[in-house]
Amino acid sequence: MRILIANDKFKGALAAEKVGFHIKNSLKSTFPAAEFDLCPIADGGEGTALAMTTALAGQWNSTRTEDAQGRPIEAAYGWVPATATAVMEMSAASGLALVQDINLNPLTASTLGTGILLRSALDKGARRILIGIGGSATNDGGLGVAMALGYTFKKAGREFVPTLESIIEADQVERPASLPSVELIVACDVDNPLLGPRGATRVYGPQKGVRDFGWFEQRLEHLADLARRDLGVDPRDVPGAGAAGGLGFGLMAFLGGRLVSGFDMVSSQIGLEARVAAADLVVTGEGRLDEQSLQGKGPVGVARLARRLGKKIVGVAGSVDGSSALRAQFDLLIGIKPADMPLDEAMRRTGELIESAVRDRSASLRALSP
């Protein structure tokens, strides 16, 4: 019997690969002769680079860069030598979590740090870059990325280094003389355009401290106008252009990025369909399974794939709060948190609780075996 364990992280408690270890450990007593395939997954958000680098047997590359407010930091991205593929998250450099210790200042927040990561991968010889863009602290339309890649901005014929505030003065943008060709795949699970009522500024700006919507919209629109006129690209209305403060737009405009769903990006790169097809039983999960899990979350993606291929599917979660629509995706759902246990204690004991809860359902699990 072959069991595929394709789970996401339990956010704030355990990384995906550690969750998978505990699930495997608990299943061994029920299926002692089973062969296990551990395949940590993610859906494009936090943990995507770790899950994919692990699944692709990659290594880690650390780079000096800067956070969204220009402070020097070290950030890492995955590197798969066999395919010259870099795997990264913009949140490792330009993420909101990195600047929680200071007052948010969206006027000076920049994606330059993410651009430095991209530049590092290109200099390393990357032929393909996979990047998740969730958790942004920025609203600069990818201007910082453009600067890191070597784009030149001019005003009145003279080069200058624009900030988000001064980009409005730029009257020309030029591509770098030599920018390596790369396949850039961007994990993006929102469909917002760059501008307007559903755009980056009005929908996501407030959580980053944005107050004057008009000020930011004017600058993002000017950046998009420059790209359209001088670079011949205009992805401002492409669904997802408004993701991560307009970084979706910037990655398309300045590096030819292609936006895909986070789960689709991960599953295609790690060969998930073939691994599900080879399994007799599939186990997935994350910290919480509820109605929101139906909106593009990794475990439900795994479940739907298992259903399509005729495989039995088990969901393991910290808590399960599902409607009939969610429960219909699984043959068995296992919630690990005892009702009377405080959340902070449950998070400290996540590994232990996973093993106990899964072992307690051994009879139900045996009933699913072929």
With 0-12 / 13-18 / 19 or more C-beta atoms within 10 angstroms meaning exposed / middle / buried, residue 161 is: exposed
| Angle between the N-to-C axes of helices 48-55 and 262-269, in degrees from 0 to 180, rounded to the nearest 10 | 20
pLDDT at position 113: 98
- Could you please state the CATH topology (level 3) that the domain comprising 48-263 is classified under: Glycerate kinase, domain 2 (3.90.1510)
pLDDT at position 260: 94
CA distance 281 to 365: 9
Q: For the range 326-330, what are the long-range contacts, defined as Cβ-Cβ under 8 Å and sequence gap of 24 or more?
A: 326/289, 326/290, 326/291, 326/293, 326/294, 326/300, 329/294, 329/300, 329/303, 329/304, 330/303
pLDDT at position 56: 85
In the block, which residue shows the tokens 């252009």?
A: 241
Cα of first residue to Cα of last residue in the chain, in angstroms, is 8
Structurally, what CATH architecture does the domain formed by 2-40+271-368 represent?
3-Layer(aba) Sandwich (3.40)
pLDDT at position 79: 97
pLDDT at position 296: 75
| Dihedral angle, C-alpha 114, 120, 121, 122, nearest 10 ° | 110
pLDDT tens track of the chain, all 370 residues? Answer: 999 999 999 988 998 889 999 999 999 999 999 999 999 988 777 778 888 888 788 999 999 999 999 999 999 999 999 999 999 999 999 999 999 999 889 999 999 999 999 999 999 999 999 999 988 999 999 999 999 999 999 999 999 999 999 999 999 999 999 899 999 999 988 899 999 999 999 999 999 999 999 999 999 999 999 999 999 999 999 999 999 999 999 999 999 999 998 888 889 888 999 999 999 999 999 999 988 888 778 899 999 999 999 999 999 999 998 678 899 999 999 999 999 999 999 999 999 999 999 999 999 999 998 8
Q: Evaluate whether 188 touches 243 at the Cβ level (below 8 Å).
A: yes
In the structure encoding, which two tokens stand for residue 90, read together?
Answer: 């913009």
Q: Evaluate whether 29 touches 325 at the Cβ level (below 8 Å).
A: no
CA distance 238 to 236: 6
Q: What pTM does this model have? A: 0.86
Give me the residue spans of the domains in the chain. 2-40+271-368, 48-263
